[in-house]
Amino acid sequence: MLPRMPFYIYSKNELNMETRKNIAAEKKRCGSHNCAQAIIHTYADIAGIDEELAMNIANAFGAGMGNMEGTCGGLVGAGLVLGLVNKDKVKSMKQMRQIMTKFQERNGSTQCKLLKGIGTKVVLRECPDCVADAADFLEKELNQK
């Protein structure tokens, strides 16, 4: 695991996918990004957008889709990256389904509210770990040709 250092000290050339996963999780952990922003900002160069645009695209997805009522923001961010990278609706949807399935299997839910234990008082996964999982599964899909 990377030491807890500001994410911006790494140059783009130094970032491999494992590093990116950890950086995305740290962006959420330190509070500078919501879950969706942590993902899309980390992969902005791969998605072909600048970092400011990445932050703005995902700023409405704090606390997941619909403010904890819907899909985890990390998953939303992964879907945004897929769409920007693939520019192909069918491929993006297929890959998103794979990510959602793997995330559900690992964490027991894809819904922010349930992951955070709202109403159940049983936290299934902390937000930085959800971001790391979404990044992990995103990277696997991005590495498939």
pLDDT tens figures, 115-126: 999 999 999 999
> Which pair of tokens denotes residue 122?
């049983």
What is the signed CA dihedral for 8, 13, 18, 20, rounded to 10 degrees?
40
Q: What is the pTM of this model?
A: 0.86
Please give the single-letter amino acid code of residue 116: K
- Which H, E and C letters describe 45-60, residue by residue? HHHCCCHHHHHHHCHH
> Which pair of tokens denotes residue 112?
């922010």
Give dist(CA 104, CA 15) in Å, integer: 27
Please give the single-letter amino acid code of residue 108: G
Q: pLDDT (tens digit, 9 = 90+) per residue, 14-59? A: 456 668 999 999 999 999 999 999 999 999 999 999 999 999 999 9
Contact 84, 48 (CB under 8 A): yes
- Would you call 121 helix, strand, or coil by DSSP? coil
